[in-house]
Amino acid sequence: PSLVWKGSISARPGVLEDWMQAFALDLRRYHECIDRYWRCVVTKVEEAYGAYLQHSQLDRPSIRPVSPDQLAEQAADIMNFRSCERNLGGLLLHLMPDDVKKACLKTRQTSTLDILYQAHVSAGPGTRTDRHNTLEAVAKGKGVPTSKCYNELQDWKFASTRLVTMGVCHPDPSQQL
């Protein structure tokens, strides 16, 4: 499918998720091996991106998805997955926004896993689950010791600011206590 978000600016996370689903549906019609390969890629990228979100800013650059050679779980899939990697890598890179392309080419990380992972990183943490968790963090405060109040307030302010960037309305103030 064509990318609505193709250009110099990365997609919003919800758009990336929708595009990935449409792309998966498009790939499914070609061959079941490509579909299996894409599902493995998406799973591994989401695992790596989940780890990326859990780590601090200083640790994040060291987090990478697994190598494409580690995707095949069955011996019969090894050659098929290599062929899928060879064919989809270039296609996927051409479909990505300019900032994702530049980041991938600059670091020479051009496997399908690396390209899709970079798209996730560029889109930022705003998946549907993340939006829900951020809204919950803003809506429901929690009791903290006095020594940690400042950090908790900073976290709340950060989550509140992110709601605006994700296009989510703030909850009713009566619900925030």
Using the predicted structure, report yes or no on whether residue 4 has a pLDDT greater than 50: no
Q: What is the pTM of this model?
A: 0.65
* Helices assigned H by DSSP within the chain: 13-28, 32-54, 77-95, 98-107, 112-123, 128-139, 149-165
Using the predicted structure, report yes or no on whether residue 9 has a pLDDT greater than 60: no
Question: Which of 8-17, 25-34, 162-171 is modeled with the greatest confidence?
Answer: 25-34
Q: Among 1-15, 80-94, 113-127, 158-172, whose mean pLDDT is lowest?
A: 1-15
Using the predicted structure, report yes or no on whether residue 105 has a pLDDT greater than 50: yes
Q: What is the pLDDT of residue 8?
A: 47
Q: Mean pLDDT throughout 34-53?
A: 87
Could you tell me which of 83, 89, 98 has the C-alpha nearest to residue 116?
Answer: 89
96, with CB counted inside 10 A (0-12, 13-18, 19+), is buried
Q: What is the pLDDT of residue 131?
A: 62
φ and ψ at residue 73, rounded to 5 degrees: -95, -20
Using the predicted structure, report yes or no on whether residue 172 has a pLDDT greater than 70: no
Mean pLDDT over the full length of the chain:
75
